Amino acid sequence: MPEMPEVEAVCRKLRDVVVGLRIEGIQVFRCATDAVAEAAAGRDIQAVERRGKHILLRLSGGVTLHTHLRMSGNLFAIPDWRFHLAEARVLIQLRGGSGIVLEDGRALARMDAAADEKINKRMNEELGPEPLGADFTVTRFQAMAKLSRQPAKLFLMDQSNVAGLGNIYAAEVLFRAGVHPRKPVNRLSMPRVARLHGSIVRVLEDALKSAVAAYSGPGSFHSEETFEMRVYDREGEPCTICERRIRRIPQGGRSTYYCPGCQR
């Protein structure tokens, strides 16, 4: 589920219903500590923000409740916190009776709380530019690529280069840009890095539309808004462009899918 587009969709949906509400209490079962609950209880939710794959609930008193969904987490509002049928790892009780649930079967998600400045500092130290933000320019991306010998796939997944790409969209970005996942980025020509940049933006814009449509629930779902995976999880299937079989290779301990014909 959660790469940047999905996390953004989670934030938008949450923002609509929780901003302005007070946190009356928090029950922590896993994925957080009781200290986190104490730090956030009694505060108002003033804003819901996202940075990379991180979710930031800005609370009154200069405190941020920070969540990372990792592999399988989800964060969503429910109308009545007493009836959380979902397997909650953290249950946030809001004034008026509604709630927010952190759900995660694998319990790898993490929620913590700290002063705004501390969280902001951490985000800015760890994360590169927002891929759909104004400061993610071709020039900046080219400058970064020139300095790195990382294989293209790992370069894209490194959150300090660009914030928000994960295993699926990194593979899709490389396919659309025609770049081989093992290609060291400093050995790509500047036009090819520019193409990679364009591909990042296009893939994430499309995936975001798709994620937002999916999260707004059934009824408002149109097939042209569904993001099409061209290589991810398609090992052995023919490439949609050149018909050669999609390959799967290990990279950084994960699976990378690519087309040996289209990606060089």
Partner DNA sequence: AACACGACCTGGTAGC
Partner DNA sequence: TGCTACCAGGTCGTGT
User: In this structure, what token pair is assigned to residue 215?
Assistant: 């999260």
Exactly one of 3, 8, 103, 172 is catalytic; name it: 3
Binders of DNA among 84-123, rule CB under 7 A?
Answer: 105-108
Q: Looking at 32-40, 111-119, 136-144, 148-156, which segment touches DNA (CB under 7 A)?
A: 148-156
- The answer to whether residue 254 is catalytic is yes
Q: Does 6 bind DNA (CB under 7 A)?
A: yes
Q: Is 53 a catalytic residue?
A: yes
Q: Which of 13, 50, 53, 58 is an active site residue? A: 53
Report which of 258, 217, 252 is spatially closest to residue 237, judged by C-alpha positions.
258
70 sits near DNA (criterion: CB under 7 A):
yes
What distance in Å separates the CA atoms of residue 142 and residue 185, rounded to the nearest whole number? 9
Q: How far apart are CA 145 and CA 141, in angstroms?
A: 6
Nearest alpha-carbon partner for 189 in 88, 104, 264: 264
**Binding string, residues 40-59; x marks residues near DNA by CB under 7 A:** ------------xx------
146 is catalytic: no
| Residue 22 beta carbon to DNA: minimum distance, rounded to whole angstroms | 29
- CB 124 to DNA: min, Å: 14
2 is catalytic: yes
Specify the residue, 217 or 253, whose C-beta has the smaller distance to DNA. Answer: 253
Ranges within 150-189 binding DNA (CB under 7 A)? 150-151, 154, 157, 159, 166-168
Question: Which lies closer to DNA via its Cβ, residue 191 or residue 236?
Answer: 236
Distance CA 153, CA 137 (A): 19
Q: How far is the CB of 16 from DNA (least distance, A)?
A: 21
Catalytic sites, residue numbers: 2-3, 53, 254
Residues forming contacts to DNA in the complex (CB under 7 A) are 1-3, 6, 52-53, 68, 70-72, 105-108, 126, 148-151, 154, 157, 159, 166-168, 251-255
